[in-house]
Structure 1
Amino acid sequence: MKRLPQVENDWNALLQTLEGHSGPVKAVAFSPDGKVLASGSDDETVKLWDAGTGAVLQTLEGHSDPVNAVAFSPDGKVLASGSDDETTVKLWDAGTGAVLQTLEGHSGWVNAVAFSPDGKVLASGSNDETVKLWDACTGAVLQTLEGHSGWVNAVAFSPDGKVLASGSYDETVKLWDACTGAVLQTLEVHDVVQAVSDALSRPSPSRGIFIKEQWVCWGLEGRLWLPPGYRPHCIDVYESVVALGYSSGRVLILELAF
């Protein structure tokens, strides 16, 4: 048996329930300082929320179809959103809500967006089975990465910005040279499982918070069970605060003390 930390009798992890979207919430992302939460929805809008008070700071309108992905630039000044609408990515001024760029070039829905660590490059993954790298300042296409045989649903840069990972319905993860666009590795499903297993077997001082199926986990342990009605469509984590987006259009913010 393991004794859990003592908490007050009336303690509740729920900080905020953010209501305002009129369609399922597809994506959530915290700003780098954790003060603002962005959410993208089937209602064709992006909302910016004060993560402390739950107040709506901005409602960003301009997409004409569901918003599938949102991501802040490393300095928090720019927000990227990817949508089903005419295969676009939009870059917004996170302070004023103004559209800075509309990036067109994909021929399928945009499912994922991610900034490079220096904020100069934006990656987007699409149903057209490609990943595009964009100049985040000018909106020009720098690279179109081809090689997947299924929809691309996830993209992420390495901490040094030299490698881009993409995950696809073709059951592979590809690692790309972010400068040249060359494929460095293609990880099949069994390779991914082994890589995860190897990573988890190594000691680590802090594994952080993540959600796996019906559990909010700390490290390798499930700490908070989520009932069926509270299992999210999308999540983001900032330190001990977790944002959960739901098909009902709600966003919940939890603060966890493990």
Structure 2
Amino acid sequence: KKEDVEDGGGGNRVGMKRHRTSGGWMLRERHFFHQGKVQCATIHKESSLLVVGFSSGIFGLYELPSCNNIHTLSISSQKINSVSINKSGEWLAFGSKKLGQLLVWEWQSETYVLKQQGHSQGMNCIDYSPNGSHMVSGGEDGKVKIWQCSTGFCFVTFTEHTGAVQSVKFLSKGNAVLSASLDGSVRAFDLVRYRNFRTMTTPKPTQFLSLAVDPSDEIVCAGTQDSFEIFVWSLKTGRLLEVLAGHEGPISCLSFNPIQPVLASSSWDKTVKLWDVFESKAATQTLQHNSDVLCVTYRPDGKELVSSALDGQIYIWNAIDANLLGTIEGRRDVMGGRKKSDRTKLASQASASSFSTLCYSADGKCLIAGGNTKWVCIYNISRKTCIKKFPISSNQSLDGILDQFNTRNMTEAGPLNEIDHDSEEEREDARGRKDETLPGAKRGQLTSSRKTAKAIRSTCLRFSPTGRAWAAATTEGLLIYSLDETSSFDPLDLDLDITPARIYKSLEDKEWLDAILMALRLNEASVLRSVYERVPKQDIPLLVSSIPAPYVKRMLDLVAVQASSSPHIEFHLQWAESLLLHHGAVVMQEFSTYSAPLRAMHMSFSRQMNDLSHMCNNNHYSLAFITSQAESDGQSL
């Protein structure tokens, strides 16, 4: 008995066939690749396709068993770590670990189906757009990325910075973002034309740690790391207006009062200073702390501000008279998670005993806090208590996740996990970048080749302006926690059971929800109008509250069409009011998707209002006479 068996082989060869006999194995064929070392491979059995990813960023598509090359393409400058094929064999998916890149390629048409790339290094800062539909992030790689919150996709990347981005801010109108970087520049990016339209620098090179914009979007302030100064520019002209001096340490955070022209700055010199940037160069108030101040932020109404210090305390201040209202002891809440280098549990408690980022909720009643720990805490300000704790990761490969671990792995030379016993592939990667490393560097492109585990932490937290979600920039990327249902996929869009007869049967049985959903799927104008008009007015609010999110846009389109062709104005307004009342959060989150039906509804209602107002104005006295006669007869109209 003889049988041909395929063997993937190793190194840079694939497709090795061995002829198995009763006596053993015999080599039959060998195929070599010349694009580089093989990193990953997969086979699609139904179509006999082999996809191979190489260390040079090239992938190859081969036909089996002949191993003929069908397609070869370079998709990345770094090695391809993973590859997969969909069930039909048309789409090829590739992942690059070093670049944080995901690609989906349709090989027959030679087009990209999906192309996404995150920050290749850590994410330092984030901010929500005013309507909560977009987010901006800045990272150690010097890139500024704009994300769609509903899909999680990045749709524009700005690469003008040459150093790590430390702070980002959306303008109040949402049409531009600002970023401050360690390269000594503050840049403004236009989200309409996707360009860098303003670059603000200092007379002497410096590094920026923090950024703030006044509510009118006219003044931009940035705090420095080395000169301990705050620079003030005009966004309109890009001219440097003032230099605020007074701190004796790096400016860790800046925050503008939403109501008054007052700037709050926190520093490692154990103070928070309040500045009137329009009137004086000197600080108007100085708030003393017991240790270095890491973060400061104002409440949305501008009447209160909070600051976080290195001793784990959260200080609550009156923003008007600068009096201390109270403190929150956050040391116990933030503790948890022992690092591999911590020889004792007390060492882990000392390293994660403070909050480095704070943010108020939209209503100002709650405060979210995070730092060098796996926990994100939400506090009730009035009660000064922690009401909820969220673990941002359960990935045990990260440092600081486990509360306890085996102490036998701790040796005199350090943890066994950090001893270099890498594979040949990892050693070759380290040798390839040995000339570009800096001893002792823990982040950035100059990271040393010494093996260390990434520590879990949250570098920035932000509440959504809608109050329905909050986001965290963490070691594992950008995380969004939401109260709304994000899934809007309906797999049963149309089937053979959806017929006009069944829809009318549901109407006879007064099953309004089933009838309207089936009519939307069938999408016949006459059936839609019949179902729409037969729903009782008093049942509309309850019906609309049960409509799934994928059908909201279709319902708005239906109301817009019916409002333009039917005289039942009050009936249409009841539908529109109920839809916006129950699904307003979904509409605001994806406003660009729903803008067309909303404009159509507005035009229909405006036209009918103009017609009615013109007719009522011409018959004003006749209507007044009719109503007065009815009142005199004791009747109501």
Mapped pair 1:23 → 2:177: no
Mapped pair 1:198 → 2:382: no
The 1:60–1:174 alpha-carbon spacing in structure 2 relative to 1, beyond 3 Å, is same
* TM superposition shift of 1:142: 0.8
Aligned residue number for residue 210 of structure 1:
471
What is the 5 A alignment of 1:71-86? 71-86=212-227
Deviates more, 1:210-219 or 1:118-127: 210-219
Aligned partner of residue 253 in structure 2, secondary structure? strand
Separation of aligned partners in 2, 1:111 and 1:51:
27
The 1:131–1:163 alpha-carbon spacing in structure 2 relative to 1, beyond 3 Å, is same
CA distances 1:83-125 after superposition (whole Å, capped 9, x unpaired) = 1242111111011111121110000011111110124100000
Indicate which of 166, 170, 188 corresponds to 1:48: 188
Structure 1: give runs of 5+ residues left out of the alignment: 1-8, 224-238, 242-254
Mapped pair 1:92 → 2:233: yes
Indicate which of 275, 282, 302 corresponds to 1:161: 302
Deviates more, 1:73-82 or 1:189-198: 189-198
Separation of aligned partners in 1, 2:152 and 2:480:
17
What is the 5 A alignment of 1:121-200? 121-138=262-279, 139-150=281-292, 152-189=293-330, 190=332, 193=377, 195=379, 197-198=386-387
Separation of aligned partners in 2, 1:33 and 1:149:
37
The 1:212–1:57 alpha-carbon spacing in structure 2 relative to 1, beyond 3 Å, is closer
* TM superposition shift of 1:182: 1.8
Q: Does the 8 Å contact 2:275/2:282 carry over to 1?
A: yes
Structure 2: give runs of 5+ residues left out of the alignment: 1-112, 115-150, 334-368, 370-376, 381-385, 390-465, 487-587, 593-637
Separation of aligned partners in 1, 2:316 and 2:467:
25
The letter of the residue matching 2:211 is: V
Q: Does the 8 Å contact 2:469/2:483 carry over to 1?
A: no
Q: Does the 8 Å contact 1:209/1:240 carry over to 2?
A: no
Q: Does the 8 Å contact 1:216/1:222 carry over to 2?
A: no
Aligned residue number for residue 104 of structure 1:
245
Q: Does the 8 Å contact 1:73/1:119 carry over to 2?
A: no
The 1:194–1:209 alpha-carbon spacing in structure 2 relative to 1, beyond 3 Å, is closer
The letter of the residue matching 1:217 is: I
The 1:24–1:222 alpha-carbon spacing in structure 2 relative to 1, beyond 3 Å, is farther
| Greater relative contact order (Cα < 8 A, sep 6+) | 1
* TM superposition shift of 1:169: 1.9
The letter of the residue matching 1:195 is: Y
The 1:194–1:215 alpha-carbon spacing in structure 2 relative to 1, beyond 3 Å, is closer
Separation of aligned partners in 2, 1:114 and 1:98:
21
CA distances 1:14-44 after superposition (whole Å, capped 9, x unpaired) = 1211011111111111111111111111101
* TM superposition shift of 1:51: 2.3
Separation of aligned partners in 2, 1:101 and 1:136:
8
Q: Does the 8 Å contact 1:16/1:54 carry over to 2?
A: yes
* TM superposition shift of 1:209: 4.2
Separation of aligned partners in 1, 2:317 and 2:379:
17
Separation of aligned partners in 2, 1:208 and 1:81:
28
Separation of aligned partners in 1, 2:282 and 2:589:
37
Identify, as 1 or 2, the structure richer in helix.
2
The 1:31–1:88 alpha-carbon spacing in structure 2 relative to 1, beyond 3 Å, is same
TM-score, normalization by structure 1? 0.74
The 1:115–1:146 alpha-carbon spacing in structure 2 relative to 1, beyond 3 Å, is same
**Greater Rg over alpha carbons, structure:** 2
Identify, as 1 or 2, the structure richer in strand.
1
CA distances 1:66-97 after superposition (whole Å, capped 9, x unpaired) = 11111110011111111124211111101111
The 1:126–1:207 alpha-carbon spacing in structure 2 relative to 1, beyond 3 Å, is same
Separation of aligned partners in 2, 1:212 and 1:24:
15
Q: Does the 8 Å contact 2:274/2:283 carry over to 1?
A: yes
Separation of aligned partners in 1, 2:307 and 2:485:
27
* TM superposition shift of 1:12: 7.5
Separation of aligned partners in 2, 1:206 and 1:68:
27
Percentage of matched positions with identical amino acids? 29
Aligned residue number for residue 5 of structure 1:
none
Report the aligned-residue RMSD.
3.1
Aligned partner of residue 34 in structure 1, secondary structure? coil
Q: Does the 8 Å contact 2:263/2:274 carry over to 1?
A: yes
Q: Does the 8 Å contact 1:173/1:187 carry over to 2?
A: yes
What is the 5 A alignment of 1:61-72? 61-62=201-202, 64-72=205-213
TM-score, normalization by structure 2? 0.32
Aligned partner of residue 170 in structure 1, secondary structure? coil
* TM superposition shift of 1:212: 5.3
